[in-house]
């Protein structure tokens, strides 16, 4: 019997009401990094985290970046004979639009059965909270930490982690560690734990296509003037072939394929019935010749994230708009260079611009490179053991489809083994209305972290 696991299981159950109350406090901070008007909320959230972490014997250093602060909390009392573990989290969240699609207020956490609904309930406040609350329980049990502990919590992950990436060179010594745990990834499903071996990179662009010098009456000019919205839609439609492949020349050239042995180690099972039940659509996107989980984790994509122009308010206004706009993103895999891919994208879209139109491209989201960890290492083994202890089923290996801009930057700044872990699900509606996280997974995450930190202390 794992007595340590039994202790933490009881600790969570005995303090469940207090933990949920604290979790709800954390969720109420409107820490939307994309919108500067929430700066006071971000400041208040940083103060809340600082107080929480100081109470469990962690020294706090605040990095006042150009935009939102980073928190470095550490306790290095375990000594040189013990490993140093850095845990990465983020406190910022996505905007809540469209607000009318939320069933409950996004910053007033609502518990329905076993599920908490709120912006950030999963990404990343849910995963961050079970991490810091597990560390508190561990400190309460032992009066010390079994490893030299560092916790890095940033406030710009949802907008590209630019400030933290710039700071890492200056703060290189402070982030040195033997193991880095990125607690911000998925597991395949509720019953299947999996070590996160990688994330995709990302580059984005905002597109403006300008035609006539003003909006025009669609009755007087329809059939004469080439509508910018139509033109942009036709341009974007040319970015995919009928089999789902991206048409940007050179887009796939640098991709490094996994070996057959590595492929056999990955979790690639996909429950299409459960997918359709949850989302209401079939998994028809991406390259048809690959399975769904290969498409979401091992293959790059080109996605249209927003498309607008003309009159979009209540009622009807019959105009041909002067300008059409779109936001697009490209998720990338090893060894695609985001800057090179963006250059290829620019060349391709410029080649599609109709005669007489003006194209403008911009991007506010900093590009980030993909990351892939070693398939076998001490930290992979430790995470696998902790997951297996908690879930009571063998741990798998998994490559996620999201992007964590700081992952590669942390790897390059240190000699650490970097790994992703978490208990979120792709169906938690992160970045969307009605984001949620279950209390049962809050507990599982709490148990995984407690077991993992104790295990790392024995390495």
Q: Give residue-wise pLDDT tens across range 60-82.
A: 999 999 899 999 999 999 999 99
pLDDT at 433: 97
pLDDT at 191: 92
**For residue 155, what are its two tokens?**
């406030």
pLDDT at 182: 96
pLDDT band at 443 (very low <50, low <70, confident <90, very high): very high
19-25 mean pLDDT: 98
pLDDT at 67: 92
pLDDT at 1: 64
pLDDT at 315: 93
pLDDT above 80 for 456: yes
pLDDT at 400: 85
Entry pTM = 0.85
Task: Round the average pLDDT of the chain to a whole number and report it.
Answer: 95
d(CA 423, CA 294): 20
d(CA 167, CA 70): 10
221-226 mean pLDDT: 95
88-133: pLDDT as tens digits: 999 999 999 999 999 999 999 999 999 999 999 999 999 999 999 9
Cβ-contact 46, 71 below 8 angstroms: yes
Please give the angle made by the CA atoms of 39, 22 and 87, to the nearest 5 degrees: 70
pLDDT at 365: 74
Q: Which residue has the higher pLDDT, 365 or 97?
A: 97
Q: Is 368 helix (H, G, I), strand (E, B) or coil?
A: strand
At 123, give phi and psi (nearest 5°).
-105, 105
Beta-bridge mates of residue 196 = 398, 420
Q: Which residues contact 119 (CB under 8 A, 6 or more apart)?
A: 27, 93, 94, 96, 106, 107, 435
Query: What percent of the chain shows pLDDT beyond 90?
Result: 86
Strands 201-210 and 179-183: unpaired
Q: What is the largest CA-CA distance in the chain?
A: 80
- Taking alpha carbons only, the member of 163, 146, 192 closest to residue 62 is 163
386-417: pLDDT as tens digits: 999 999 999 999 998 888 888 888 998 998 99
Cβ-contact 458, 133 below 8 angstroms: no
* Residue linked to tokens 């969307």: 432
pLDDT above 90 for 38: yes
Number of Cβ atoms within 10 Å of the Cβ of 256: 10
* Strand order across the 110-112 sheet: 110-112, 115-117, 436-438
Burial 213-234 (b: 16+ CB within 10 A, else e): eebbebeeeeeeeebbbebbbe
**For residue 258, what are its two tokens?**
């996994």
257-285: pLDDT as tens digits: 899 999 998 999 998 998 899 889 999 99
Q: What share of the chain is helix, strand, coil (3-state, %, to 5)?
A: 35, 25, 40
pLDDT at 367: 84
Q: Which residues contact 413 (CB under 8 A, 6 or more apart)?
A: 168, 169, 172, 175
């Amino acid at each position: 019997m794992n007595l340590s696991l039994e202790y933490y299981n009881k600790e969570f159950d005995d303090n469940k009401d207090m933990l949920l109350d604290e979790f709800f406090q954390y969720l109420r901070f409107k820490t939307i990094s994309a919108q500067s008007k929430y700066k006071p909320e971000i400041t208040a959230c940083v103060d809340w985290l600082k107080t929480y972490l100081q109470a469990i014997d962690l020294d706090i250093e605040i990095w006042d970046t150009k935009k939102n602060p980073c928190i470095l909390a550490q306790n290095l009392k375990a000594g040189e004979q013990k490993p140093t573990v850095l845990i990465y989290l983020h406190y910022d969240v996505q905007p809540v639009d469209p607000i009318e699609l939320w069933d409950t207020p996004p910053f007033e956490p609502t518990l329905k059965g076993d599920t908490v609904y709120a912006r950030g309930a999963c990404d990343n406040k849910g995963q961050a909270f079970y991490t810091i609350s597990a560390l508190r329980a561990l400190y309460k049990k032992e009066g010390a930490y079994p490893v030299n502990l560092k916790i890095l919590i940033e406030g710009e992950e949802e907008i590209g982690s630019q400030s933290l990436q710039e700071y890492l060179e200056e703060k290189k010594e402070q982030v040195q560690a033997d193991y880095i745990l990125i607690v911000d990834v998925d597991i395949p499903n509720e019953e299947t734990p999996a070590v996160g071996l990688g994330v995709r990179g990302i580059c984005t662009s905002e597109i403006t296509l300008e035609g006539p010098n003003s909006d025009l009456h669609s009755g007087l000019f329809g059939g004469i003037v080439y509508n910018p919205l139509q033109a942009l839609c036709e341009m974007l439609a040319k970015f995919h072939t009928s089999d789902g492949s991206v048409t940007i020349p050179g887009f796939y050239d640098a991709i490094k394929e996994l070996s057959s042995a590595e492929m056999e180690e990955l979790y690639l099972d996909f429950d299409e019935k459960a997918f359709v039940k949850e989302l209401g659509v079939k998994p028809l996107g991406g390259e048809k010749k690959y399975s769904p989980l290969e498409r979401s984790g091992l293959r790059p994509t080109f996605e249209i994230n927003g498309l607008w122009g003309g009159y979009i308010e209540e009622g009807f206004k019959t105009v041909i708009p002067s300008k059409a706009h779109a936001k697009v993103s490209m998720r990338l895999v090893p060894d695609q260079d985001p800057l090179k891919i963006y250059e290829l994208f620019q060349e391709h879209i410029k080649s599609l611009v109709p005669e007489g139109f003006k194209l403008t491209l911009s991007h506010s989201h900093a590009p980030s490179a993909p990351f892939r960890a070693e398939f076998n290492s001490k930290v992979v083994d430790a995470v696998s053991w902790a997951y297996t202890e908690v879930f009571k089923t063998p741990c798998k290996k998994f490559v996620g489809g999201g992007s964590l801009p700081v992952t590669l930057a942390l790897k390059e700044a240190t000699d650490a083994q970097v790994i992703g872990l978490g208990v979120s699900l792709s169906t938690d509606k992160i970045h969307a209305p009605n984001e949620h996280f279950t209390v049962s997974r809050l507990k599982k995450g709490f148990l995984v972290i407690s077991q993992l930190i104790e295990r790392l202390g024995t390495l």
